[in-house]
Chains A and B, each alone.
Chain A
Amino acid sequence: MLTSVTVRNYRSFVDPTQLLLRPLTLVFGENNSGKSALLRLLPLLADSASDRSRGPLDLSSPSVRGASFAELHSRPPLSSRPEIDFDLSWEGGNANDLEYRLTVRSFPELRRNLVRSFHISTPGISLDAELVPDFEPSAESLPYRIKRNGGEEERLLRFSGLTPHPAGQGHLDNLRVEFRLLHDLLALLSDGVQWLGSVRSLPDREVAFWGESPSQISPEGGGTVEALVADQLRQRRLFPAVSEWFERVLGLRLDVEARSERFAVVLSPLSEPTLRVNLLDTGEGITQVLPVVVAIERARPADAGRRLLALEQPELHLHPTAQRSLGDYLCDVASAPDPPRLVVETHSENVLLSVQLAVVEKRIPRESVAIYWISSHAKGRSSAELLPLDELARPRGWPPDVFRERLEQSRELVSSRIRSGNS
């Protein structure tokens, strides 16, 4: 399991910025502080770990929204270095622990972005590689000076996305073996992330079903209804689990209606089961939260594929009571045995309070939760601070006036009433 990602010189994060991937990681911050950029690293890395990536970083990933490499790395005046540093750590039990550090550099004159250097460490292996400066600009395989176990040798390596491959047979024994664990972990990562963006589009009123459940929900929530229909028709666990959440939190029961060869998701109030309303005709909060619940429920089984979830504002359009329930739900999922990893960007005070309450009531261990506050500083620089929860579940270092607005406004309102003599 990928347990942390550190990035440097990425967007407004000039300094090394670590994101721990705990069962529940919450990312808070003001608007435009860099929260989304940090969260979207996860789908970017997943897409870049794929064989289909056309460079070390997959700039066709929807997570970068068409940005060029030059728009991804920190730029002047923040930094003049055309590189991004990544540090990925996996913990999977001693033999499967691995750290992969790499620096991706832009070579504008070659119109290429290349891995300038990388480092792999696992128990028993420590390997450093550096791109040899004089290389054939158009070559697919490039020379790297590799140091390991006191030895040093130049080897031709080819990268598919973030993954290094030795080209041909060389003198360094076992290089393929040494890369194997990294290959396996990157392959898992490439199919392991489910990202949901903060702008989720409306589903179709009816969908055709062709026998396959989509392998992932799109960042806009596309595929949600198809996944539900596929599951309902095959009588599996996803549909009842999602419906149970809707029944418990929103008092609505989910069902699938077949209309010739097309299918629709309908909801009925528990109080009036005969009233069946198409998903599209329900409130915005319901259509917005459905992909979130579906994505989470798909990730819950230990053998599920996409178990690292990057969720932007899952609380979108939900009223405070439902936001609280959503927070409780996130805690339930994250505290279950062998949980998926939920990385949640949110502005919801109710979600935070739910998590604090769950920690105080020991429904979720403190160590299973990471809370980040993203700050935007002078000159556009951002930083991410991990705010550890104390024994009273207070995030230490939380900016004291954040989430106080309503309280202060209410106090001012009552005070004004008293002063104006209306009381």
Chain B
Amino acid sequence: MRVTVAATLFADDRRRSALVELLGCVERGHIVEVLPAGAPELHAWLEELGRLGEDFGELLELAIEDAARSAGQIRARIVEDDTSDWTSDPYRLTLDDGLELLRRPLYLMVENKRRDGAFLKAVGWRYSSALERLQKQYRLEISHGGGLDEICQMIRENKGAASRARTFVVCDSDALAPGRPSAVSTNLVDTCQAVGTACHRLRRRASENYLPPAAVVAWAKTLNGKAREPHLKRARAFGRLTPDQRYHYNMKRGHGGDARHPHRDIGAALFNGLDEPTMNALDTGFGNGIGDLFGQGVDPALLQKDDQRDEMSALFEALLERA
């Protein structure tokens, strides 16, 4: 996370331990910039610290380099005010609140930590080493939220401003067609927005809709027994769908699984015109475990061809910037 600190804070010796802790956050990879650059208050403060001051000075220079490289947005300004303003963008914070913000890791909240964690690792292959680094630096933790309703409840009950600011939700859209997210999903997005928590709603229906057809076919070929043929037929039918159909197909339970859905007509319209063998093959889905395929490793070259780069770049770059 990139924050700025007013140099005048360094003039008051009573803040010494808090400022030492703040600069310690740079060790964990946070970008802390003291403004204005070259302020005499900072210079005097660092000199007083002796050798430690030299090292902090070096850390601050590295932070400037990091800021230039990442060109990330400034998320908070730590200023001399008496109270914090968590509604401004960037936040205007007291030193104590700024510290509170930086001490916490960013909680990446997903519905299912194991399954969605594997999904994010697979689709974020380009960012995997950065995500590992952030976890090691105690700047990112993946957190299990349960269903969308439960996450919504947790976000509402999350009272601390710093805690809200350090939460990032990734949720399914549950959309049966493009641009038609479910009411529950929309409610979660609205709740996050209302309390200042970052949220990325997947453009596709659910995480398993990011599985490339070739990966699903390859999985079906590994099956033995009775399940193999129908799943293989289904996987091939899945590969024949248009991108929009593929992104909104009920991967777990197929069209049959949507039969009682209140908005089933929306979904049905999207699949109009498909030939009967394809429709029949897709009537049943791939089962509840299909999302586990991400955990078994999906060839990034297949993901790369699946038109997900823009969305995933936006998601992971927002995540890295906030962490």
Task: Determine if A418 and B27 form an interchain contact, defined as CB atoms under 8 angstroms apart.
Answer: yes
Given contacts A400-B320, A418-B27, contact A423 B55 (CB under 8 A): yes
Residues of B within 8 A of A404 (CB): 69
> Is A378 at the interface (CB under 8 A from chain B)?
yes
Task: Determine if A401 and B52 form an interchain contact, defined as CB atoms under 8 angstroms apart.
Answer: no
Instruction: Report B29-59 CB contacts with A as 1/0, cut-off 8 Å.
Output: 1000000000000000000001110110011
Residues of B within 8 A of A383 (CB): 301, 304
> Which residues 155-175 in A have Cβ within 8 Å of B in the complex?
none
CA distance A295 to B50 in the complex (A): 52
Task: Determine if B59 and A411 form an interchain contact, defined as CB atoms under 8 angstroms apart.
Answer: yes
Residues of A within 8 A of B54 (CB): 423
Stretch at the interface among A59-67, A142-150, A310-318, A390-398: A390-398
CA distance A224 to B55 in the complex (A): 47
> Is A15 at the interface (CB under 8 A from chain B)?
yes
Task: Determine if A385 and B127 form an interchain contact, defined as CB atoms under 8 angstroms apart.
Answer: no
> Which residues 10-46 in A have Cβ within 8 Å of B in the complex?
14-15
Task: Determine if B304 and A378 form an interchain contact, defined as CB atoms under 8 angstroms apart.
Answer: no
Task: Determine if A378 and B299 form an interchain contact, defined as CB atoms under 8 angstroms apart.
Answer: yes
> Is B309 at the interface (CB under 8 A from chain A)?
yes
Residues of A within 8 A of B71 (CB): 392, 394
> Which residues 368-423 in A have Cβ within 8 Å of B in the complex?
375, 377-379, 381, 383, 385, 392, 394, 396-397, 399-401, 403-404, 407-408, 410-411, 414-415, 417-418, 422-423
Indicate which residue in A377, A392, A422 contacts B300 across the interface (CB closer than 8 Å): A377
Indicate which residue in B66, B127, B305, B313 contacts A407 across the interface (CB closer than 8 Å): B66
Indicate which residue in A14, A15, A396, A415 contacts B313 across the interface (CB closer than 8 Å): A396
Q: How far is the CB of B66 from chain A (nearest CB, A)?
A: 6
Residue in B closest to A394 when the chains form the complex, CB atoms: B71
Residue in A closest to B66 when the chains form the complex, CB atoms: A407
Task: Determine if B130 and A400 form an interchain contact, defined as CB atoms under 8 angstroms apart.
Answer: yes
Residues of B within 8 A of A407 (CB): 62, 65-66, 69
Q: How far is the CB of B277 from chain A (nearest CB, A)?
A: 28
Task: Determine if A399 and B127 form an interchain contact, defined as CB atoms under 8 angstroms apart.
Answer: yes
Task: Determine if A375 and B300 form an interchain contact, defined as CB atoms under 8 angstroms apart.
Answer: yes
Task: Determine if A408 and B301 form an interchain contact, defined as CB atoms under 8 angstroms apart.
Answer: no
Residue in B closest to A417 when the chains form the complex, CB atoms: B55
Indicate which residue in A375, A377, A408, A415 contacts B133 across the interface (CB closer than 8 Å): A408
Task: Determine if B58 and A397 form an interchain contact, defined as CB atoms under 8 angstroms apart.
Answer: no
Interface centre among B65, B70, B301, B304 (most CB of A within 10 A): B301
Given contacts A410-B62, A414-B27, contact A377 B301 (CB under 8 A): yes
Residues of B within 8 A of A375 (CB): 126, 300-301, 304
> Is B287 at the interface (CB under 8 A from chain A)?
no
Given contacts A410-B62, A411-B27, contact A399 B126 (CB under 8 A): yes
Instruction: Report B109-138 CB contacts with A as 1/0, cut-off 8 Å.
Output: 000000000000000001101100100000
Interface centre among A14, A375, A403, A414 (most CB of B within 10 A): A414
Task: Determine if A385 and B27 form an interchain contact, defined as CB atoms under 8 angstroms apart.
Answer: no
Q: How far is the CB of A30 from chain B (nearest CB, A)?
A: 11
Task: Determine if B299 and A377 form an interchain contact, defined as CB atoms under 8 angstroms apart.
Answer: yes
Task: Determine if B313 and A381 form an interchain contact, defined as CB atoms under 8 angstroms apart.
Answer: no
Task: Determine if B129 and A401 form an interchain contact, defined as CB atoms under 8 angstroms apart.
Answer: yes
Residues of B within 8 A of A377 (CB): 299-301
Residues of B within 8 A of A401 (CB): 129-130, 133
CA distance A414 to B59 in the complex (A): 7
CA distance A411 to B136 in the complex (A): 14
Task: Determine if A414 and B62 form an interchain contact, defined as CB atoms under 8 angstroms apart.
Answer: yes
CA distance A411 to B30 in the complex (A): 11
Residues of B within 8 A of A385 (CB): 304, 309
Instruction: Report B236-276 CB contacts with A as 1/0, cut-off 8 Å.
Output: 00000000000000000000000000000000000000000
Closest 6 CB pairs of A and B: A423-B52, A400-B130, A401-B129, A423-B51, A415-B27, A377-B301
Return 19 A-B CB contacts under 8 Å, by A number.
Answer: A15-B305, A375-B126, A375-B300, A377-B300, A378-B300, A385-B304, A397-B126, A397-B313, A400-B70, A403-B69, A407-B66, A407-B69, A410-B62, A411-B26, A411-B29, A414-B62, A415-B59, A417-B55, A423-B52
Query: Beyond the given A378-B300, A383-B301, could you list 12 further A-B residue pairs with CB under 8 A, ordered by the A residue number?
Result: A375-B300, A375-B301, A377-B300, A377-B301, A378-B299, A385-B309, A397-B309, A399-B126, A399-B127, A399-B130, A414-B58, A415-B59
